[in-house]
Structure 1
Amino acid sequence: METIRVLNVVTKMDAAGIETLLMNFYRNIDRTKIQFDFLTHRSEKGFYDDEILGLGGKIFHIPPINPLKHKEYLSALDEFFNNHKEYKIVHSHINTYSMYPLRAAMKVGVPVRIAHSHISNVPLDLKTPFRIYTKKNLKKYSTNNFACSEMAGKWLFGSEAVGRENFKKIINSIDASKYIYDEETRSRIRSQMGLEGKFVIGHIGRFNKQKNHKFLIDVFKEIYKINPNSILMLVGEGELQSSSIKDVEDLGLKENVIFTGVRSDIHELLQAMDVFVFPSLYEGLGIVAVEAQAAGLHCVVSDTIPKEAFITNLIKSISLKSSVMSWAGEILKYNNHYKRSNTYNQIFSNDYDIKKTVLLLEDFYFKNSKE
Structure 2
Amino acid sequence: MRKRITVLGFFSEDIGLTCFFKTNYRALLADGYEFNIINIANYRPARELKHFGNYYEVPFYFTDIKDKHFLRKRRAFNHQLHQVYRECLLNSDVIHLYLNMLCDPVSIVYARRLGFDRVIVHAYSNLEGTMNLTSRQLQKVGRRMAEVYGTDFLAVTQGAADFFFSSRIQRSPRFKLLPDGIAVRKQRYHEEQNIYYRKRYDINENDFVIGNIGRFIDVKNQSFLIDSFNLFQKINPNAKLVLIGDGPKLEEVRQKVYQLHLEGRVIFTGYLENTEEVQNIFDVFAYPAESGGLSLALLHSLANGAKAVVSQRQPAEVQTLGAVTALSIDNPQSWADEFHSLSLETNNRFEQSYNTMNELIEKGYTISTSTKLLRKLYGKPQLEDDY
Settle same-fold status: TM greater than 0.5: yes
Cα distance change on mapping 1:363 and 1:266 into 2, 3 Å: same
Kindly tell me the number of residue pairs found equivalent between the two proteins: 366
Residue 202 and residue 44 in structure 1: after superposition, are their counterparts in 2 closer, same or farther (change >3 A)? closer
The corresponding residue for 1:15 is: 14
Paired residue secondary structure (2:13): coil
The residue number in structure 1 matching 2:126 is 120
Question: For the Cα contact (< 8 Å) 1:200–1:273, is it kept in 2?
Answer: yes
- Alpha-carbon distance in 2 for matches of 1:43, 1:191: 36
Does the 8 Å contact 1:102/1:113 carry over to 2? yes
User: Percent same amino acid among aligned pairs?
Assistant: 24
User: What is the match of residue 74 of structure 1?
Assistant: 78
1:150–1:162 contact (8 Å) kept in structure 2: no
Per-residue deviation, 1:126: 8.4
Equivalent runs, 1:102-121 vs 2, <5 Å: 102-121=108-127
CA distance in 1, matches of 2:293, 2:208: 29
Q: How far is the alpha carbon of 1:368 from its aligned partner? A: 9.6
8 Å CA contact retained: 1:293, 1:299: yes
Identify the residue that residue 305 of structure 2 maps to in structure 1: 296
Offset, 1:316: 1.0
Counterpart in the other structure of 1:362: 375
Residues 117 and 284, structure 1, Cα contact 8 Å, conserved in 2 = no
Is the CA contact (8 Å cut-off) linking 2:283 and 2:306 kept in structure 1? yes
Deviation at 1:229, TM superposition (A): 2.1
Partner of 1:152: 160
Kindly indicate whether residue 4 of structure 2 is the aligned counterpart of residue 27 of structure 1.
Answer: no
In structure 2, the partner of 1:64 is 60
2:225–2:288 CA contact under 8 A, matched in 1? yes
- C-alpha contact 2:36 2:55 (8 A) present in aligned 1: yes
- How much does 1:44 deviate? 6.8
Displacement of 1:89: 1.6
State the 1:78 CA deviation.
1.9
CA shift, 1:25, in A, is 1.5
Structure 1 distance, partners of 2:326, 2:3, is 42
- Deviation per CA, 1:28-78, whole angstroms, max 9, x where unpaired? 3243511333212357762x313x23x342221224235422333322222
CA contact (8 A) 2:155 2:161 kept: yes
Aligned equivalents of 1:193, 1:63: Cα separation in 2: 36
CA distance in 2, matches of 1:57, 1:43: 20
> Does the 8 Å contact 1:311/1:350 carry over to 2?
no
CA contact (8 A) 1:93 1:118 kept: yes
Q: Which runs of 5+ in 1 are unaligned?
A: none
Per the alignment, residue 209 of structure 1 pairs with 218
Which of 251, 257, 268 does residue 259 from structure 1 map onto?
Answer: 268
Q: Is the 8 A contact 1:3 1:32 kept in 2?
A: no
Give the match for residue 362 of structure 2: 349
CA shift for structure 1 position 253: 0.9
Question: How many Å apart are 1:147 and its aligned residue?
Answer: 0.7
Give the whole-Å Cα distance in 2 for the aligned partners of 1:7 and 1:13. Answer: 18
After TM superposition, give the deviation of residue 281 of structure 1 in Å. Answer: 1.1
Question: Where does 1:202-241 land on structure 2 (aligned, <5 Å)?
Answer: 202-241=211-250
Given the alignment, which residue of 141, 147, 172 partners 1:133?
Answer: 141
* Separation in 2, partners of 1:79, 1:91: 17
Structural mapping, 1:295-314, within 5 Å: 295-310=304-319, 312-314=321-323
Contact 2:193 2:278 in 1 (8 A): no
**1:9 Cα deviation after fit:** 1.2
Query: Which residue is 1:173 aligned to?
Result: 181
Amino acid of the structure 2 residue aligned with 1:65: Y
- Shift of the 252–157 alpha-carbon distance from structure 1 to 2, 3 Å rule, reads same
Q: Which moved more, 1:77-86 or 1:36-45?
A: 36-45
CA RMSD of aligned residues (A): 2.3
User: Greater shift after overlay, 207-216 or 343-352?
Assistant: 343-352
Structure 1 stretch 29-38 or stretch 289-298: which is displaced more?
A: 29-38
Residues 154, 126 of structure 1: alpha-carbon distance in 2 compared, 3 angstrom cutoff? closer
Question: Could you say which residue in structure 1 is the equivalent of 2:66?
Answer: none
Q: How many Å apart are 1:202 and its aligned residue?
A: 0.5
Distance 1:43 1:269, change over 3 A: closer
Distance 2:143 2:303 in 1: 34
Q: Does 1:96 align with 2:102?
A: yes
For 2:141 and 2:104, locate their aligned partners in 1 and report how far apart those are by CA, in whole Å. Answer: 12
Q: For residues 264-322 of structure 1, what are the alpha-carbon distances to aligned partners after superposition, in whole Å with 9 as ceiling and x for unaligned?
A: 2222222111111111112232332222211111111111111212464211111223x
3-state SS, counterpart of residue 96 of structure 1 = coil
Structure 1 CA distance for aligned equivalents of residues 217 and 147 of structure 2:
28
- How far off is 1:97 after superposition? 5.1
Whole-Å separation in 1 of the counterparts to 2:275 and 2:33 = 27
**Equivalent in the alignment of 1:330:** 338
Q: Cα deviation per residue 1:321-357 (whole Å; 9 max; x = unaligned)?
A: 3x21111010112224521121322221111111221
- In structure 2, runs of 5+ residues without a counterpart are 63-69
